[in-house]
Chain A
Amino acid sequence: MNAVEIKNLTTVLNGIEVIKNINLTLEQGKFLGIVGPNGCGKTTLLRTIIGSATPLSGSVTVFGMTPKEAVKAHIFGYLPQNQNIINNFPARSMDVVLMGLYGQLGLFRWPTKKHKQKAYEMLDILGMSGLGNATFSKLSGGQKQRISIARALINNPKLLILDEPSTGIDMVGQTDFYQLLKELQNQIGLSIIMVSHDIGAITTFVDEIACINKTLYYHGNPFGALDRQVLEKLYGRKVSLVTHSDCCSQCDKNKHE
Chain B
Amino acid sequence: MTKNLRVKSSEYIDETNRISFKFNGKTYHGFKGDTLASALLANDVHLVGRSFKYHRPRGIMTSGSEEPNAIVQINPGTNRTEPNVRATEIEIYEGLEASSQNCWPSVEFDIGGINNFLSPFFPAGFYYKTFMWPASFWEKYEFFIRHSAGLGKSPTSSDPDIYDHRNVHCDVLVVGAGISGILAAKNAAKNNFKTLLVDEKNELGGSTIFENNEFNKIENKSPSEWLKKEIDELKSIRNLEIKTRTTVAAYHQYNYLLARENLTDHLETKDKTNKIRQQLLKIRAKKVILATGALERPLIFNNNDRPGIMLSSAIKKYSEFYGVACGSKNVFFTNNDSAYESALSLYNKGINVEAIIDIREQSESKIVKKVNEAGIKIYWSHSVVNTAGYKRLNSISVMKLSNDGTSVTGNKISISCDCLGVAGGWTPAVHLYTQSGSKLKFDEEKKVFLPNQNTSEQISVGSCSGDFKIDEIIKNLNQKLKDTLNIKLTDLDNIKVEVDQENSKRNIWLLPSDKPVGKTKPFVDYQNDATAKDIKLALREGFRSIEHVKRYTTTGMGTDQGKLGNMHALGIIADTAGVKMGELGTTTFRPPYTPLTFGTIVGRNVGKFFDIFRRTPMNDWHVENNAEFENVGQWKRAWYYPINGESMHQAVQRESKAARESAGILDASTLGKIDIQGSDASEFLNRVYTNAWSKLAVGKCRYGLMLNEDGMVYDDGVTTRLGENHYIMTTTTGGAANVLGKLEDYLQTEWPELDVYLTSVTDHYATASLCGPNSKKILKKIIPGLDLSDENFPHMSFKGANIENIQCRIMRISFTGEHSYEINVQASYGKDLWEKCMEAGKEFNITPYGTETMHLLRAEKGFIIVGQDTDGTMTPIDLQMDWIVSKKKYDFIGKRSLYRSDTMREDRKQLVGLLTDDPNTVLEEGAQIVSELDQSPVEMLGHVTSSYFSPNLNKSIALAVIKSGKDMMGKKLFVPMENKNINVTVSNPVFYDEKNQRLNA
Query: Are A and B genuine complex partners?
Result: no
Residue ranges of A at the interface with B (Cβ–Cβ < 8 Å)? none
